[in-house]
């Protein structure tokens, strides 16, 4: 049997688990991050056999649960661990581990120079230079963060279920919010991408999107942008491969 590894991507809302070989992801599971505990980790991974676990987390307080369960089998993705890419960044210890995982996957699966767009609670853009070095990024509010904030901070604006607006000119309060979310958000993404490509000096830089709303947002942008919901897990898989 090919050597197997457990991949763990701890996000603000949900944690993704993947069982993988060196080459591919075999199975996937998810669990709410706020409900993670050593017992929950054991339950989610029950029945999976693997040699080691590779984790990236944006929620530091849950990492001890994984350390307790996996002990010395746990590989924590850090800026100073073997990554297979370089880092040119003033304070590399401040780069989110998930962003480094995305950059690793971009370099080895899509190419450099390139840009990863990760649509999560925040939307992040991470940039890889032509010589495969992480050189920085952009952080902006996530789509649902923006729409939820509108509802929470105003007396009359409702909470809406995100979907494609029928018109750009909203014919109702809900329609107006949907137009702002879909058209406005895509405009922001396009504007940031344009500025990044210009600064990179590479109009043909590889661009790949991941995260919960990636498919929906990218589908309406009219640009050739690849989407990969497992990009972060693949980055963890590739880092795990470097550990023997």
Write out the catalytic residue numbers: 98
Cα–Cα dist 227/132, whole Å: 20
Task: Report DSSP state, residue 230.
Answer: T
* In contact, 207 and 113? CB cutoff 8 Å: no
Strand partners, 83: none
* In contact, 21 and 9? CB cutoff 8 Å: no
Cα–Cα dist 85/100, whole Å: 9
Spatial CB neighbours of 120, under 8 Å, sequence gap ≥ 6: 11, 12, 13, 142, 211, 212
CA 244, 56, 135 angle in degrees (round to 5)? 90
* In contact, 133 and 79? CB cutoff 8 Å: no
* In contact, 205 and 226? CB cutoff 8 Å: no
Cα–Cα dist 179/173, whole Å: 10
Cα–Cα dist 119/143, whole Å: 8
Cα–Cα dist 218/224, whole Å: 9
């Amino acid at each position: 049997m090919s050597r197997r590894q457990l991949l763990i991507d701890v996000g603000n809302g949900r944690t993704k688990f993947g069982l993988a070989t060196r080459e591919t992801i075999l199975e996937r599971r998810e669990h709410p991050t706020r409900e993670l505990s050593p017992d929950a980790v054991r339950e989610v991974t029950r029945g999976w056999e693997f040699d080691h676990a590779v984790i990236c987390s944006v929620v530091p307080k849950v990492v001890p649960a994984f350390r307790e369960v996996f002990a010395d089998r746990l590989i924590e993705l850090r800026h100073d661990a073997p990554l297979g890419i370089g880092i040119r960044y003033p304070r590399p210890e401040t780069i989110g581990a998930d962003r480094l995982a995305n950059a690793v996957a971009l370099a080895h699966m899509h190419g450099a120079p390139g840009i990863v767009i990760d649509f999560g609670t925040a939307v992040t853009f991470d940039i890889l230079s032509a010589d495969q070095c992480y050189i920085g990024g952009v952080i902006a509010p996530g789509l649902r963060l923006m729409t939820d904030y509108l509802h929470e901070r105003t007396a009359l604006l409702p909470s809406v279920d995100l979907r494609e607006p029928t018109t750009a000119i909203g014919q109702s309060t809900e329609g107006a919010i949907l137009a702002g979310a879909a058209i406005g958000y895509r405009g922001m993404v396009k504007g940031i991408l344009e500025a990044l490509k210009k600064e990179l000096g590479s109009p043909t830089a590889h661009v790949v999107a991941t995260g919960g709303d990636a498919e929906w947002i990218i589908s309406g942008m009219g640009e050739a942008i690849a989407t990969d919901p497992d990009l972060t897990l693949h980055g963890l898989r590739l880092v795990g491969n470097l550990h023997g």
